Amino acid sequence: MTTYFINRCRPLLGTFVELSLSGDMPEEQLIQISNTAFDEIERVHHNLSFHHPDSELSQLNSALIRHPKQGFTLSEDLNTILSLVARLYQKSAGYYDISIAPTLAAQQRLPNHLLAETFITPAEFGCFSDVTIEDKVIYSEQPTFFDLGGIAKGYAVDRAIATLPDNVTGSINAGGDMYMIDWQSQSVKIKYANRSRALKKVIMRNKALATSASYYRHEGSLFLNTKTGRFINSKGSVSVFADSTMIADALTKVALIMPRKAAKKVLREFNASATFINRFGLTRQLN
C-alpha cells in the first residue's frame, strides 16, 4: 500500500488550523479522517466559545453570574477542562485563574456582553477559590464568569488528535497550539516577534507544544498577574512542551506570570518544560 500525505487548513478557533496527516491508505480515506478531526475541533469551538450566546460556556457563565450557588451540571468537555483548571489554580497558588475574565472584559480586552447583563462591578466578582466542582456539578460562593481562551484551543487539538486512527501519523497546529504524533527528533519554528523573519528553530521536547505572545495584540497584553493586578508586557514568546496541548497552553501562563523557581516546580509536576525567546531571538530554558 502506498503511503499518502495530506496538508489541509481551515479557519477555526479564531485562527487557522493546519492538519498534516500521512498513512498507508488511499488519499480519499485520509481526507475523510481529516474531516472528522476538523468536525471535532468545530464542535469543541462552538461548545466552549466565550462569544457564542448559545455555547455551553455562555450558559455556564450566565448561571455563575445569576445563580452561582445553585449548581450547574458540566459536560464531559467542561468537566475535563475545569478539573485541570482547579488543579492548576491550587498548584500555582492562584497565579493561574480563569476567573480574571471580568477584569479583562472591563478593560475591553474581552467582549463585555456579560458585564452588560449585570449591575455587578468587576471588583465584586469572586475568584476560582470560591468555586467547587463535585461530581461534574460546579458551584461558586460569589458571582463569576470564565474565559477559557487558549486552554480550550489546546483541548480542541487534543480531542481532534483522539479521533485519528492508530495507523495515521502527523500533526495538528492551531495558531501555535500543536500536537505532533511522531515528535522525537523533530523540530519546529517558533515566532517570537511581529516580524516576518522572527522565527526560531527549536527541537520538540514533548508531543504537545503551545506558544503564547502578545507582540501582535494592539490592545495590549492578556497576561494578568493575579497577585499584583498588573498586566505583563512580554516582548517575546513563551513556549511550553507537555504531554497534552491543553496542559501546554495553560502552563504558558504559569511560566510567564509566576516567579521562576515556583514556575519550574509546577512545570515539573506536569512533566513539562518551557522555552522563552526574547524579541532578539535569544532563548532561555525553564525545566
Q: Decide if pLDDT at 159 tops 90.
A: yes
- Which tens digit of pLDDT belongs to each residue from 46-83? 999 988 888 999 999 999 999 999 999 999 999 999 99
State the cell numbers at 18.
Answer: 493546519
Judge contact between 233 and 214, C-beta under 8 A: yes
Judge contact between 18 and 8, C-beta under 8 A: yes
Task: List the 15-23 sheet strands across, edge first.
Answer: 4-12, 15-23, 168-174, 177-180, 208-213, 237-242, 273-277, 283-286
Q: What average pLDDT score do residues 125-152 get?
A: 93
* The pLDDT of residue 216: 61
> What residues contact 197, with CB distance under 8 A and at least 6 apart?
none
Q: Decide if pLDDT at 103 tops 90.
A: no
What would the CATH number be for the domain defined by 183-287? Answer: 3.10.520.10
Domain boundaries, the chain: 1-48+148-168, 62-147, 183-287
> What residues contact 3, with CB distance under 8 A and at least 6 apart?
22, 23, 24
State the cell numbers at 121.
Answer: 462591578
Q: Decide if pLDDT at 139 tops 80.
A: yes
> What residues contact 137, with CB distance under 8 A and at least 6 apart?
71, 72, 73, 74
Residue 3: φ, ψ to 5°:
-85, 125
> What residues contact 215, with CB distance under 8 A and at least 6 apart?
192, 193, 194, 234, 235, 236, 237, 279
* The pLDDT of residue 228: 84
State the cell numbers at 182.
Answer: 511522531
State the cell numbers at 15.
Answer: 485562527
- Check residues 116 and 136 and name the one with the higher pLDDT: 136
What whole-number distance in Å separates Cα of residue 129 and Cα of residue 120?
Answer: 19
% of residues, the chain, pLDDT over 90: 71
CATH 1.10.3980.10 for domain 62-147 = yes
What whole-number distance in Å separates Cα of residue 257 and Cα of residue 263?
Answer: 8
% of residues, the chain, pLDDT over 70: 96
Q: Decide if pLDDT at 234 tops 80.
A: no
